[in-house]
Structure 1
Amino acid sequence: MSGRTHFIVSCTRRKSVPAGNTVFPSAEDAATAYASWREILVKACNEYKNIRAGGLYTGQHWRCAFTAVANTGAELWIISAGLGLLHVTDRIVPYEATFASMPFCHQVYGKG
């Protein structure tokens, strides 16, 4: 079998660096929350030192993921609640984005 193996691991609330002010906002609706989130991220990128995505997350499943990658040579990707799909080498700011307690429905409804 040829080709490269890719592991995609979920983000975790446990992080090596505190989020500071980079916290996903609570808003009455999803559109307002996401617009505010983009502004928060832009500001954070200008104020904070960026770190590699692979250095931000901690915990048991991260140790397992790093071990698997070291043993297989696979690529490691992160599916982040606040930042989307990231490679472990991507530069990011520390953040906190937990959507379980948001006051609005997270589904996006299209027209038609």
Structure 2
Amino acid sequence: MKFTTTDFAWQPQAVSAAGVSVAVLTGLHTFYRWDQSWVLLRNTERTITAEYWNWRAALAPENRPSDADVVASTKAFLATLSEIRGEEAQVFFQDLSFPAVVVNQSRP
């Protein structure tokens, strides 16, 4: 007896499970956009790291910053961080689509 991949006891269940798996994974990928999220998060991390090192350089002991300069530099750094994170959130959510609300207008 010749055995092929089309001849096995659980063939309908295996094909159904494969189809459901592909549909579920496609739906999850479409909603969460893991590839785009990864790129966005890496770019955000790189930008934050650059800003952090700029802030640290401004506070280097050889620059002899005064307390007022340290406070001003830190406030500017925190404001920049807030802007970066705000832009990240805006980019992430701009393409996110939510299910539409359907209103049944045939009812009185």
Structure that is richer in helix per residue: 2
- Mark the structure with the bigger radius of gyration: 2
The TM-score, its normalising length taken from structure 2, stands at: 0.23
